[in-house]
Amino acid sequence: MAPPLSLSLSLSLSLSLTTDAEALAPQLSALRRAIHAEPELGLHTPRTRDRIRVALTHLPLEWREGPSTTGLVGVLKGGIAGARRVLLRGDMDALPMPEDTGLPYASTIPGTMHACGHDAHVAMLVGAAELLAARAESLAGEVLFMFQPGEEGHHGARFMLDDGLISPLPDAAFALHIMPNSPHGLIAGREGALLAAADQLDIEVRGAGGHASMPHQTLDPVPVVCEIVTALQAMVTRQFDARDPVVVTIARIEGGTAHNVIADFAKLRGTVRTLSPEHRARAREAIERLAVCIAAAHGLEARVTFTPGFPVTICNGQAVDFGEGVASAMFGEGAFQRLAHPIMGAEDFAYVLEQVPGAMFFLGAAHDGADWQGCCGIHSPRMVLDESVMPRGAAFLAGLAERFLAGGIRGSVKG
């Protein structure tokens, strides 16, 4: 367990960092809105990268960039000699979906939207850099600010690790993710599995097409894929222990060209979410067996393809305790909530946490006083957030780094 924070440290964290962060609110909102209006997809987000560099050009940061992405890492060296190094991460990319918020700064790029809050993550990390740079002389060690593209299924964190942008590895790593349907300003986390592994599933069933009026002369793949979809749901509930969750969702069905033509093939695409390596492997075997055998029972063939996605996001217990202590010191009792269960979403910060002990936390971004349970969640075309929560996020990230470099976790979070 992390040692309790001293009263003087608590006052320093809560008054100094939060007050200075509130003063940055207009700057953070302006940056977030500029990024929101021009969202970028995937591993290459040059406009977002350039906005970050401009916003932080006045700070004494050493910059690292690699060949695989437009991700960048800013390194802040503290004024006190120290061996500790801590990483703070913010993701940069948007989603390939239309926006339906009606905001004056809504996306100007058709079919592209910041519906997962990455624009706010960038702004909060920029704010944390401002706060920590102002305190650089009192920092004992280094802070790495990891601005990462390609989180939405493109494995950006893995590419940045492979490019050596955070080598040598830091001693701890932290990330913060907004949640628009969580109470305003509430910080949440949990020890162990926080988010699921996510693999892409593709199933193609091949038959023999023909005239829709004579299905007996064809091998119709459409009812077969429909049967597979239904059978997958029964498979999950009957073959896997509910205490180690598995979620299989078929999100797309494709088949046919006209109302009176039976197609030669039909396709399914979806996602498989798991919280353990054992169920991840078992689910793959079970899905392939189910699809192939159902197709064969109808005289058709099925081909199943799995595309590996992110691993399970596992948070170090000491790091979560530490985060709870910092949040409570800065924002008071009740500012932090322990999540009882993992969330079946996925996150490529998992690649960092596979190599560096640390934790990811959530920040409630519903409008203060709103019905947060009824708010549109992330990945909704109507997702909005209360920008007034961003200074708290910036202050919390800065507080994590400042306290860690000061030795806030006894010894090390490793182990």
Q: What is the pLDDT of residues 206-224, one digit of tens each?
A: 999 999 999 999 999 999 9
Q: What integer pLDDT is reported at residue 175 of this predicted model?
A: 98
Q: What's the token pair of residue 160?
A: 């940045």
- Looking at the structure, tell me whether residues 316 and 278 fall in a common domain: no
- Looking at the structure, tell me whether residues 186 and 231 fall in a common domain: no
- Looking at the structure, tell me whether residues 318 and 283 fall in a common domain: no
pLDDT > 80? residue 124: yes
Is-cis flag, bond preceding 180, omega within 30? no
- Looking at the structure, tell me whether residues 188 and 202 fall in a common domain: no
- Looking at the structure, tell me whether residues 191 and 217 fall in a common domain: no
Give the confidence band of 3 by pLDDT, cuts at 50, 70, 90: very low
- Looking at the structure, tell me whether residues 273 and 352 fall in a common domain: no
Q: What integer pLDDT is reported at residue 133 of this predicted model?
A: 97
Q: What integer pLDDT is reported at residue 24 of this predicted model?
A: 97
Question: What mean pLDDT is predicted for residues 65-78?
Answer: 97
Q: Which of 282, 307, 332 is the last residue of a domain?
A: 307
pLDDT > 90? residue 7: no
**Contact (CB, 8 A) for 294 and 224:** yes
Q: What integer pLDDT is reported at residue 413 of this predicted model?
A: 54
- Looking at the structure, tell me whether residues 12 and 99 fall in a common domain: yes
Question: What mean pLDDT is predicted for residues 281-310?
Answer: 97
Structural domains in the chain (count): 2
Q: What integer pLDDT is reported at residue 325 of this predicted model?
A: 94
Question: What mean pLDDT is predicted for residues 340-354?
Answer: 95
Q: What is the CATH number of the domain that holds 12?
A: 3.40.630.10
- Looking at the structure, tell me whether residues 203 and 295 fall in a common domain: yes
Q: What integer pLDDT is reported at residue 1 of this predicted model?
A: 36
Q: What is the dihedral of CA 319, 321, 325, 328, to 10 degrees?
A: 120
Q: What integer pLDDT is reported at residue 370 of this predicted model?
A: 78
Is 1 contained in some domain? no
- Looking at the structure, tell me whether residues 303 and 335 fall in a common domain: no
Question: What mean pLDDT is predicted for residues 182-196?
Answer: 96
- Looking at the structure, tell me whether residues 87 and 209 fall in a common domain: no
- Expressed as residue numbers, the domain containing 223 is 197-307
**Contact (CB, 8 A) for 81 and 140:** yes
- Looking at the structure, tell me whether residues 17 and 92 fall in a common domain: yes
Q: Model-level pTM?
A: 0.90
When mean pLDDT is compared across 126-130, 359-363, 374-378, the lowest value belongs to 374-378
Amino acid at 165: L
Contacts of 186 (CB under 8 A, 6+ apart): 335, 336, 337, 363, 364
Give the confidence band of 4 by pLDDT, cuts at 50, 70, 90: very low
Q: Which of 307, 327, 356 is the last residue of a domain?
A: 307
Q: What's the token pair of residue 133?
A: 């740079």
What would the pLDDT profile of 22-60 be if each residue is shown by its tens digit? Answer: 999 999 999 999 999 999 999 999 999 999 999 999 999
Give the confidence band of 12 by pLDDT, cuts at 50, 70, 90: low
Is 2 contained in some domain? no
Q: Which of 307, 329, 357 is the last residue of a domain?
A: 307
Q: What's the token pair of residue 167?
A: 């080598």
- Looking at the structure, tell me whether residues 297 and 151 fall in a common domain: no
DSSP element (H, E) containing 216: none
Give the confidence band of 409 by pLDDT, cuts at 50, 70, 90: low
**Contact (CB, 8 A) for 312 and 275:** yes
Give the confidence band of 288 by pLDDT, cuts at 50, 70, 90: very high
Beta bridge partners of 271: 200, 249
